[in-house]
Amino acid sequence: MGWAIGGRQDLDGNEDSVFRLPRSEFVFRFWFMVGSSRFRLPAVVLLGAFHFASGVTADESRFRVMPLDASGVIPYFIADGADRSQFRASDTQLAIWALDEWQRRTGRVLRFERAEREESALLRFIWLPWAEDAALGRMDPSTVDGHPAASITVRPDENQFRPTVRRGVRVDPLLRDVVLYYVCLHEIGHALGLSHSSNPRDVMWPGNNGVTLPIYERYRHLIQTRDDIPRTSWLSHDDLARFTEIWSVP
């Protein structure tokens, strides 16, 4: 989704394989150790069991913001845009609408509430200037008083969108809102524990080489004016099903 000189066009910097890399490293070392010894057969059995167990654990231990209490409250804070970020005051509304869509369409398991102070927020939105080595959106896990929290970074400078999208925004300014709303929804999804989808119909799809104009246009066609954004459903059936799968685990 992001575009930069050098061709990096990932949607964001969020890695889906963080839990897998150490595991394969472990498997390799373990295999090397048992090498040609007589323990090889039991080792294979053990390895299979470990692989299965760690797979289950990996999925359940994926990061997600946790509500403050059983009522599902997640306080959020939306910062003002940094200098040169090309942030507009109205972008705040896009982030709020994106939170609202997740809340509304997941059966109100969660309640996003605007925090008085930034320090007490579990979900923070930050708007930064474009950077060559950065992506359009990003979610970073953090903690607030030992509680799982997340920072979402958005880089809203439409002059740096990939060329086809940038040209689209020039003739159709509403396309800028479409892009930023998509980014907000996507990054909130990461904060809620969702990984990337391989289906272009899902908001959690990161694109093969970034999200391209046709994807944004599909959402663009859902709306006529900006005010239609909060009245429209962007999250797919599978986005929501994956949310339910994660959040139904106590």
How many residues interact with Zn ion (rule CB under 5 A)? 4
Beta strands at 147-154 and 137-144: parallel, antiparallel or unpaired: antiparallel
- Residues in 202-221 at the binding interface with Zn ion, rule: CB under 5 A: 206
> Taking CB under 5 A as the criterion, which residues in 157-196 touch Zn ion?
none
> Looking at beta carbons only, is 65 or 115 nearer to Zn ion?
65
Cβ nearer to Zn ion, comparing 49 with 131? 131
Q: 80 Cβ partners below 8 Å, 6+ apart?
A: 87, 127
* CA 169/CA 196 separation, integer angstroms: 26
- Binding to Zn ion by CB under 5 A, coded x per residue (else -) over 91-130, reads ----------------------------------------
Binding of Zn ion by 14 (CB under 5 A):
yes
Q: Cβ 179 to Zn ion, closest distance in Å?
A: 14
Q: What is the DSSP letter of 197?
A: -
The Cα 161–Cα 73 span in angstroms is: 34
Taking the complex as a whole, how short is the minimal distance between the CB of residue 63 and Zn ion, in angstroms? Answer: 13
Of the two residues 198 and 225, which places its CB atom closer to Zn ion in the complex? 198
Who's near 157: CB < 8 A, 6+ residues apart? 85, 86, 129, 130
Residue nearest to Zn ion (CB): 12
Give the nearest distance from C-beta 238 to Zn ion in angstroms.
15
Among 153, 162, 127, which Cα is nearest to 4's? 162
Q: DSSP 3-state helix, strand, coil percentages of the chain (rounded to 5)?
A: 45, 15, 45
Q: Which of 12/239 has CB closer to Zn ion?
A: 12
Contact indicator for 155, 85 with CB cutoff of 8 Å:
yes
Nearer to Zn ion, 11 or 122 (CB): 11
Give the nearer residue to Zn ion in terms of CB position, either 75 or 101: 101
Start-to-end CA distance of the chain, whole Å, equals: 34
Chain residues binding Zn ion by CB under 5 A are 11-12, 14, 206
